[in-house]
């Protein structure tokens, strides 16, 4: 791999042991990928937390040891300096305030808070959400980033037109300290062109339908790049957030184009950029039903737990949930958790949404989600959610069964304790 003088200086340890370890990792990683060089980045979104029981022993040696091992793959414990790149924390396993409701132990919650304080002082911004683009981290078109978290990556590439691969804990840890990431994959213009044309033959408008479309397409195209045409109504941040998260769950979609909507596709021709179309897919009522049935694995209509906010809810989603719950009470047999970034929970508090949801018997949570934390209300067997991603992962990870539907279906399930959703 070709390195600049500045990069060689970091690798040789002239700028400290942490940067030497970080550069060593990036060179090994880049060479394994066949990258010929690194690219500068000033936007890193990674996981720098110590919120799992498995990190307990390591954390006893201090948070330099945690970063060295988990974020730099370094056998040597290095002192962690201030980050070079703008860096933010993605989602964690623990809500710093509601950890008791999650069923997290106090010592683990303390460990996370101490880690946050340590890494925060070193320049890692504690957004603690899988949707950094909802709380101020909005890279511009063409900006090279180093992001983890599949739903954020597909949003970054497709909707924002910024450039990132799906990075890991180690590569983001190294990128944050060096301002570099291997130049390959989605950093390269030629790799961002469409591969599959998707003709949408029925109206896709609400959030649930965008989730179903994404879930269906992910299974078919896997990690290739679909280009959507047809009856996709003007999407919004929320709809594209759900679409991308679903496509990145059932498959490995990291980028898509919607001509006249996403920034690298003013037309179908531009979306393909001269690529031959590998396949043309139709999405109609039969495909929509397949996606719906694949997501709804539950048979028991008694719902123990309703999870809303995967990816983390925007403030208007929290507002809608509050309006649907106002003056009502959720079933004694059901629990409701509403997940939103911590910065937006502050807004929800000030707007009174948190109180309305709380008075109805629900909880507004931040910093985490059940799929990441592996924590749900005790005894949960059946979950209902408006997220294709959460409906995909929770059964696989925790063994619960899932219902997937609209936010209204889910609120109805929370109020009655029964699932009555279905395809219109």
Q: Does 169 bind ligand F3S (CB under 6 A)?
A: no
Tell me which of 18, 35, 39, 91 binds ligand F3S, using CB under 6 A: 91
Per-residue mark of binding to ligand F3S, 192-231 (x: CB under 6 A): ----------------------------------------
Tell me which of 130, 315, 356, 413 binds ligand F3S, using CB under 6 A: 130
Tell me which of 312, 342, 345, 375 binds ligand F3S, using CB under 6 A: 312
Shortest distance in whole angstroms from residue 86 CB to ligand F3S? 21
- Using the contact rule CB under 6 A, the part of the chain among 193-201, 386-394, 397-405, 414-422 near ligand F3S is 386-394
257 or 312, CB closer to ligand F3S?
A: 312
262 or 340, CB closer to ligand F3S?
A: 340
The 3-state secondary structure of the chain reads CECCHHHHHHHCCCCCHHHHHHHHHHHHHHHHHCCCEEEECCEEEECCCCCCHHHHHHHHCCHHHHHHHHHHCCCCCCCCCCCCCEEEECCCCCCCCCHHHHCCCHHHHHHHHHHHHHHHHCCEECCCCCCHHHCCCCCCCCCECEECCHHHHHHHHHCCCCECCECCHHHHHHHHHHCEEECCHHHCHHHHCCCEEEEEEEEECCHHHHHHHHHHHHHHHCCCCEEEEEEECCCCHHHHHHHHHHHHHHCCCCCCECCCCCCCCCCHHHHHCCCCCCEEEEECHHHHHHHHHHHCCCCCCECCEEEECCCCCCHHHHHHHHHHHCCCCCCCCCEEEEECCHHHHHHHHHHCHHHHHHHHCCEEECCCCHHHHCCCCCCCCEEEECCHHHHHHHHHHHCCEEEECCHHHHHHHHHHCECCCCCC
132 or 226, CB closer to ligand F3S?
A: 132
Shortest distance in whole angstroms from residue 114 CB to ligand F3S? 22
Ranges within 352-381 binding ligand F3S (CB under 6 A) = 369, 371-372
Tell me which of 311, 341, 377, 405 binds ligand F3S, using CB under 6 A: 311
Number of residues that bind ligand F3S (CB under 6 A): 14
Ranges within 9-68 binding ligand F3S (CB under 6 A) = none
Residues forming the site for ligand F3S (CB under 6 A): 91, 130, 151, 245, 310-312, 339, 369, 371-372, 389-390, 393
């Amino acid at each position: 791999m070709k390195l600049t003088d500045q990069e060689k200086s970091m690798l040789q340890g002239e700028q400290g042991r942490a940067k030497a370890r970080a550069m060593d990792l990036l060179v090994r990683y880049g060479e394994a990928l066949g990258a010929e060089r690194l690219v500068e980045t000033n936007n890193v979104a990674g996981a720098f937390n110590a919120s799992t029981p498995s990190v307990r022993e390591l954390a006893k040696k201090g948070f330099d040891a945690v970063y060295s091992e988990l974020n730099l793959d370094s056998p040597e414990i290095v002192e962690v300096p201030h980050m070079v790149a703008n860096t933010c924390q993605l989602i964690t396993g623990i809500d710093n305030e509601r950890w008791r409701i999650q069923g997290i132990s106090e010592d683990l919650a303390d460990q996370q808070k101490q880690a946050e304080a340590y890494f925060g002082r070193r320049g890692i911004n504690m957004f603690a959400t899988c949707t950094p683009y909802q709380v101020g981290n909005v890279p511009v078109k063409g900006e090279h980033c180093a992001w983890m978290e599949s739903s954020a990556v597909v949003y970054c590439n497709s909707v924002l037109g910024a450039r990132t691969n799906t990075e890991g804990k180690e590569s983001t840890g190294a990128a944050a300290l060096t301002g570099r990431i291997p130049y390959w994959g989605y950093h390269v213009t030629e790799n961002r062109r469409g591969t599959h044309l998707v003709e949408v033959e029925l109206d896709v408008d609400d959030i649930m339908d965008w989730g179903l479309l994404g879930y269906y397409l992910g299974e078919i195209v896997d990690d290739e790049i679909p280009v959507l045409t047809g009856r996709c109504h003007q999407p919004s941040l929320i709809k594209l957030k759900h679409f991308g998260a679903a496509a990145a769950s059932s498959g490995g979609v990291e980028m898509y184009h919607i001509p006249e909507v996403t920034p690298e596709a003013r037309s179908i021709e531009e979306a393909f950029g001269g690529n031959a179309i590998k396949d043309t897919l139709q999405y109609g009522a039969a495909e929509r039903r397949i996606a719906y049935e694949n997501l709804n694995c539950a048979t028991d209509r008694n719902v123990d737990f309703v999870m809303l906010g995967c990816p983390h809810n925007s403030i208007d989603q929290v507002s809608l949930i509050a309006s649907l719950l106002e003056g009502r009470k959720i079933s004694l047999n059901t629990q409701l958790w509403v997940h939103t970034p911590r910065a937006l929970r502050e807004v929800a508090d000030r707007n009174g949404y948190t109180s309305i949801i709380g008075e109805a018997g629900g909880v507004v949570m931040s910093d985490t989600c059940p799929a990441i934390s592996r924590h749900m209300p005790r005894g949960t067997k059946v979950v209902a959610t408006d997220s294709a991603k959460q409906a995909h992962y929770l059964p696989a990870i925790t063994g619960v069964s899932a219902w997937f539907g609209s936010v209204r279906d889910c609120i109805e399930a929370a109020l009655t304790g029964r699932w009555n959703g279905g395809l219109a």
